[in-house]
């Protein structure tokens, strides 16, 4: 794994077929959710042939939603049970034999580069699921140790974005996941419900940046299904950020609770100068031309061209960041945001309705991050929170 994670940070596309490997780009790794492996039997051999960093997300959080776990391919997974949640939370034998062990066996069989401990979606650090997720990390470690499986073990951390608004809660999450008993973890994935980083409250984005900054102190940290803000977070410690191509940049539980198909394609183009997508017609209004290595001063709109363009833009910026130290990364991204603000001023003169506030917010967060340290006051506030939780 260490060989494949050299020169971080990097972008990881979330894939569901082999189309990525037909594109004119050189990705360092991919994330595949387990039910897509059940749908397309050729996809894992194709990943293996490429020799890239392979993450197999067991997507065990889908088990919580009847509509999601009832999908044809998900039902083929050996751990896609009809859960008795009362028993799941209270009976470790039931949880391990019916869910955790089949999930780990499945991952071992498919041979990804890491193992992700089974997890459910925990909305906040006070619900039962949060504690169960921590328990399943320890149970996973024991099972892998007993089998002498030495693959790196990662945890998936999930929550609602409002959790990020209070620094004491962010610190509490960090404290629980970097506890001494978690020394055997090699890293974390972060999955947040319905976080739009262009529209979210700035306190949520600061909380997320601080969470990443603290967790990455001596671990790998990946952020799943995040847009342009992922590039910003690479400057404060993020190992890599993950999203689909031209779709699937935001995770939302509501799509698991219904039969609605999500991650639909849109008539839009990715504009790296703005860290986001704009309508294709708006791009034409400003006579947009891209200078990425794929577009080379042109404007291409076919699906494959847009995917190539998106990948090249993401890879270019992460390659630049990989050559810099922490201070260099922060300053580099600040300069990119300043350039984006200049670009947006020109864009707004021709296209009505674009709000560039997120660029200013992101730049402010990077400026703040230059002086981030875990202070004694943070420790005092965290201790107070822990005492309150114990009383509850």
- For 145, 218, 322, the CA distances from 239, given in Å and listed in that order, are 26, 11, 10
Q: What is the CA angle 109-112-117, rounded to 5?
A: 85
List, in order, residues 6 or more apart from 223 with CB less than 8 Å away: 189, 190, 212, 230, 233, 238, 240, 241, 242
**pLDDT tens digits for 265-289?**
668 899 999 999 999 999 999 999 9
SS3 category, 363: helix
Give the pLDDT band of residue 246 (cuts 50, 70, 90). confident
Q: What is the CA angle 17-18-21, rounded to 5?
A: 145
Q: List the one residue out of 208, 114, 227 whose CA is nearest residue 159.
A: 208
Q: What's the pLDDT score for residue 260?
A: 59
Q: What's the pLDDT score for residue 51?
A: 92
Task: Specify the CATH number of the domain 10-265.
Answer: 3.20.20.105
**pLDDT tens digits for 200-215?**
989 999 999 999 999 9
26/189: higher pLDDT: 189
Q: What's the pLDDT score for residue 259?
A: 64
pLDDT of residue 7 exceeding 80? no
- Which residues belong to CATH 3.20.20.105 in the chain? 10-265
**pLDDT tens digits for 321-363?**
999 999 999 999 999 999 999 999 999 988 878 999 999 999 9
List, in order, residues 6 or more apart from 98 with CB less than 8 Å away: 79, 81, 83
As a whole number, the mean pLDDT across the chain is: 90
- Between CA 15 and CA 317 the distance in angstroms is 21
Q: What percent of the chain stands above pLDDT 90?
A: 76
Angle between helices 376-391 and 167-177 (to 10 degrees): 80
Q: Which DSSP state fits 100?
A: I
Give the pLDDT band of residue 378 (cuts 50, 70, 90). low
Q: What's the pLDDT score for residue 227?
A: 85
pLDDT of residue 113 exceeding 90? yes
Q: What's the pLDDT score for residue 381?
A: 53
Tell me if 242 sits within 8 A of 223, measured CB to CB: yes
pLDDT of residue 58 exceeding 80? yes
Q: List the one residue out of 242, 314, 318, 303 whose CA is nearest residue 271.
A: 314
Q: What percent of the chain stands above pLDDT 70?
A: 92
Q: What's the pLDDT score for residue 379?
A: 47
């Amino acid at each position: 794994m260490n060989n494949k994670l050299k020169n971080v940070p990097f972008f990881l596309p979330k894939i569901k077929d082999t189309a990525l490997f037909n594109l004119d780009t050189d990705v360092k790794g991919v994330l595949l959710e387990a039910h897509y492996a059940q749908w397309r039997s050729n996809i894992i051999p194709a990943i293996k042939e490429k020799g890239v960093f392979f993450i197999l997300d067991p997507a065990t959080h889908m088990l919580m939603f009847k509509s999601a776990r009832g999908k044809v391919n998900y039902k083929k997974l050996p751990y896609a049970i009809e859960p008795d949640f009362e028993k799941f939370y209270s009976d470790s034998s039931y949880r391990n034999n019916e869910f955790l062990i089949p999930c780990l066996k499945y991952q071992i069989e498919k041979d990804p580069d890491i193992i992700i401990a089974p997890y459910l979606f925990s909305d906040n650090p006070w619900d039962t699921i949060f504690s169960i997720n921590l328990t399943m990390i320890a149970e996973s470690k024991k099972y892998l140790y007993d089998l002498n499986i030495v693959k790196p073990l990662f945890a998936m951390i999930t929550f609602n974005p409002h959790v990020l608004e209070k620094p004491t809660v962010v610190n509490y999450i960090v404290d629980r996941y970097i506890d001494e008993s978690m020394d055997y973890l090699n890293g974390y994935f972060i999955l947040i419900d319905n976080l739009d980083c262009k529209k979210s409250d700035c306190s949520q984005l600061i909380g997320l940046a601080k969470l990443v900054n603290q967790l990455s102190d001596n671990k790998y940290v990946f952020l799943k299904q995040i847009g342009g803000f992922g590039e910003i977070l690479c400057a404060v410690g993020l190992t890599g950020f993950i999203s689909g191509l031209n779709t699937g940049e935001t995770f939302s539980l509501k799509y698991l609770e219904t039969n609605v198909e999500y991650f639909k394609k849109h008539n839009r183009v990715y504009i790296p100068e703005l860290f986001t997508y704009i309508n294709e017609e708006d791009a034409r209004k400003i006579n947009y031309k891209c200078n990425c290595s794929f577009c080379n001063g042109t404007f291409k709109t076919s699906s494959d061209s847009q995917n190539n363009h998106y990948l090249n833009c993401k890879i270019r910026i992460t390659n630049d960041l990989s050559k810099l130290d922490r201070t260099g990364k922060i300053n580099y991204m600040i300069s990119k945001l300043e350039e984006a603000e200049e670009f947006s001023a020109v864009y707004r003169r021709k296209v009505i309705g674009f709000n560039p506030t997120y660029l200013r917010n992101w730049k402010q967060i990077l400026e703040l991050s230059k002086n981030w340290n875990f202070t004694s006051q943070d420790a005092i506030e965290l201790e107070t929170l822990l005492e309150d939780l114990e009383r509850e």
